[in-house]
Amino acid sequence: MRMCLTSDIGGYYTGAIEDGRDQFGLKGDFVTSPEISQVFGELIGIWFVAEWLAQGRPSQGVELIEVGPGRGTLMDDMLRTIHRFPAMANSIDAVYMVEASSKLREAQKNLLCGEHAPMTESKVGYHSVCKYGSLPIVWTETIKSIPVTPDTKMPLIVAHEFFDALPIHAFQCVSVPANHDAPPLETDKSSPSTRTTKPTLQWRELLVSPTPPGATHASLGTPASQSPATTPSPDFQLTLAKASTRHSLYLPESSPRYRAIRQNTGNGALLEICPDASLYASDFAARIGGSPQHPKPKPSGAALILDYGPGDGSVPTNSLRGIRQHRRVSPFAEPGLTDLSVDVDFAGVAEAAIRASEGVEVHGPVNQGTFLEVMGIRERAEMLIKAALEQQQKGGERSEEVRKYAANVEKAWKRLVDRGPGGMGKVYKVLAILPENDGKRKPVGLGGDVDA
């Protein structure tokens, strides 16, 4: 997954897409929430304004951080909204964009700073100046490049459809028969997990291997949902490892949730684990709440994670998918030209955040539809339509254009909150990491109200 998505040569986001082609939007492979409606990004901006208010309205030290910013649409809508609250806008020291793709960095710079705005390079990353209030914007390839100064900074972090693109390890629980009646000899160098004196349940890793010569969708059993009639036969397939790997020995033992699956489900159980998700969640938490390496006298900041995955605490299984031109395809066909994603283990993200810092607590996840409606998506859409109608009455717009605009605004916000089967309002979840306060204050949209 990592190579296919972000490899320097041939990565989906970093080099495989030919000039003039965009991964995002109707002409690309998929459409994200910020591309559907400007209201989405505006409400995310309002959420961070509410957190800034609730945490004492600091006059300086605020850092806006986005991981995986896409084309920059979300940050553009957020900054335009925050700019309407001068006190908060003036408290922002810098905007950080964590982006591995040079082409996407350029697209983000053009949108946020202007096509002719210069971009300079330093040891930290790439620098330019935002068109909203001349804020400095810094692009880094990893979040580790963003300096950690927890005693003075208030990080406000947003991760929208970022965790779903982080690489996973997949495992299957198998029953291993007894194959040793006596303790192994000192000269026996085989893995301890293969030397059993009684049947045991063990995890085996599902590995990516080449498909046999002449393999077809039919011989590989490609599901009909992956558009086999219109896509090439996969180049790779998943194969169950014949013995333990270092990952199968460690990762499924790293959490009580994973160990319970082997105990309760047993032979045939499946499991997906994303170590990178834990690393990012831990980083977010440490910046907000402090850590043993970087103590923070008073936790401050917030992280908002919006993505798709189970919100009931269950661990994702069989969720690896490929998307191309808005259709599900095999994730193993045309590597580097196909978007890959997985369901996010929100409970795992929460567990990693709390483990990383005693100064944070986690709220959610809640359905995106619930979050956006509490944040006022309906009311904001109605305001946009009303403004367009008023402009028409002043003679600035033709009635047909206004009707079309109003219909598009209505369609867009309802799509974002749709709770039907597969609807974005149900499938997408929202989770927040906040400073520890013994649960006395819940964030707006996740059970709480605006606290000014």
Angle at 113 between CA 109 and CA 118, to 5 degrees: 75
Cβ-based neighbours of 219, under 8 Å, separated by 6 or more: 212
Q: Is residue 443 part of a domain?
A: no
Indicate whether 447 pLDDT > 70.
yes
Give 223-247 pLDDT, tens digit per residue. 888 777 788 889 999 999 999 999 9
Q: What pLDDT was estimated at residue 39?
A: 96
Indicate whether 221 pLDDT > 50.
yes
Q: Is residue 452 part of a domain?
A: no
Domain check: are 136 and 89 in the same one?
Answer: yes
Give 245-295 pLDDT, tens digit per residue. 999 999 999 999 999 999 999 899 999 999 999 999 999 999 999 999 999
Range of the domain at 367: 2-166+275-372+422-435
Domain check: are 116 and 220 in the same one?
Answer: no
Domain check: are 134 and 10 in the same one?
Answer: yes
Domain check: are 280 and 268 in the same one?
Answer: no
Sign of CA dihedral 234, 236, 238, 242: positive
Taking residues 119-130, what's their average pLDDT? 94
Q: What pLDDT was estimated at residue 64?
A: 98
Sign of CA dihedral 28, 32, 38, 41: negative
CATH code: domain of residue 340: 3.40.50.150
Domain check: are 146 and 207 in the same one?
Answer: no
Cβ–Cβ under 8 Å, residues 13 and 141: no
Considering only 149-153, 207-211, 327-331, which range has the smallest mean pLDDT? 149-153
The count of domains in the chain is: 3
Domain check: are 323 and 335 in the same one?
Answer: yes
Domain check: are 141 and 283 in the same one?
Answer: yes
Domain check: are 42 and 149 in the same one?
Answer: yes
Domain check: are 185 and 126 in the same one?
Answer: no
Domain check: are 10 and 119 in the same one?
Answer: yes
Indicate whether 396 pLDDT > 70.
no
Domain check: are 214 and 336 in the same one?
Answer: no
Domain check: are 77 and 15 in the same one?
Answer: yes
Indicate whether 182 pLDDT > 60.
no
Q: Is residue 256 part of a domain?
A: yes
Q: Is residue 406 part of a domain?
A: yes
